[in-house]
Amino acid sequence: MTSIYDFSARAIDGSEVSLADYKGRALLIVNTASKCGFTPQYAGLEKLYKQFGPKGLTVLGFPCDQFMHQEPGNEAEIQNFCTTKYDVTFPLFAKVEVNGANTHPLWAFLKSEKGGLLGGGIKWNFTKFLVAPDGKVVERFAPTTTPESITPEVEKLLVAA
């Protein structure tokens, strides 16, 4: 059976990262964009990461330019924007596609594990997937769901671990 830990992705610095590196940690995996109405959620994601990182949560940001060209920058520009504007310290990855023929395999897996209101497709930037420390995808949150509002689910997951 395929697990979240079977996937790897290119980090924003170009290095290849195995998700197996995060075994035993809860993950919040998010498709992000710098020029989206939901972009201020970067602040909430960073707050969750700082608050719960020591307790076992890692936020993983995957920039995506599939929704109205809201992530037009290259990896260096994205990294600079995130660190300068939102003081992001959680891991960021290279741009990915989350829908269509070139969907990154990790995102195809996430969608197969937790479909959304529109079936398997990702509706917009800042769709979030919560993954348990054992690698099971436990929840999918809509772009409109703020990071702050999922704090109870994160806490519950970390207590159960």
Q: Domain range for residue 74?
A: 4-160
- On whether the pTM is more than 0.75, the answer is yes
Classified as helix, coil or strand, 26 is strand
Q: At what angle do helices 75-86 and 41-52 cross, to 10 degrees?
A: 70
62-115 per-position pLDDT tens digit: 999 999 999 999 999 999 999 999 999 999 999 999 999 999 999 999 999 887
- How many C-beta neighbours within 10 Å does residue 71 have? 24
Query: Does residue 118 have a pLDDT over 60?
Result: no
Phi, psi of 32 (to 5 degrees): -120, 165
User: How far apart are the C-alpha atoms of 83 and 88, rounded to whole Å?
Assistant: 5
Classified as helix, coil or strand, 149 is helix
Per the annotation, the verdict on 36 as an active-site residue is yes
Candidate list 28, 30, 36, 130, residue with the active-site label: 36
Total structural domains in the chain? 1
CATH number at residue 137: 3.40.30.10
